[in-house]
Amino acid sequence: MNEILEILEKDARTSAEEIAKMLGMKAQAVKAAIKKFEKEGVILKYKTIVNKELVRDEHSDVRALIEVRITPKKNLGFDYLAERIYQFPEVNACYLMSGTYDLLVVVEGKDIHTVSDFVSSKLAPMENVRGTVTHFILKKYKEDGDILRQAKRDKREAISL
């Protein structure tokens, strides 16, 4: 991957000037490269990763990973059904997978019932969906390469009698 992209992927707040210094380039060249990546759709958007474990409240969403087994649509393959599924607003991500299930769908809802309603009323009844398995995320430790919460170490010395 391009070095500029690698730097921005680790920290999107890194300025073009900082990147230029790191790579021994001119800031204008870095800015032009970034603008080109944005125009071509290589850079889709800049985003903040929020540690939701630290800001949990009564409005926090529930997240689930749903394994979906499908029969590909003739002449259209997996892409057609994946597109139909990822169009739902509840769907955050959709991946074609190898293994027992064909798609892994990441869904978010205001509570467990909202997610289960999505699966039972929208996803499972879809034509060519042969089965689903839902896994609710209970706690996140690491996401997108970032550790969300460092374990607090007890600095007291153990005393035994």
β pairing state of 103-109 and 146-147 = unpaired
How many beta carbons lie within 10 A of that of residue 84, not counting itself?
16
| Average pLDDT of the chain to the nearest whole number | 89
The Cα 80–Cα 78 span in angstroms is 6
Q: What is the pLDDT of residues 107-160, one digit of tens each?
A: 999 999 999 999 999 999 999 999 999 999 988 888 877 787 765 666 667 677
CA atoms of 1 and 53, how far apart (whole Å): 31
Q: Across the strands, what pairs with 129?
A: 70
Mean pLDDT of 66-89: 94
Has residue 56 got a pLDDT over 80?
no
Half-sphere exposure of 135 (CA within 13 A, CB side): 9
CATH of domain 62-139: 3.30.70.920
Q: Where do the domains of the chain lie? A: 3-40, 62-139
* Cβ-Cβ contacts under 8 Å for 22 (sequence gap 6 or more): 7
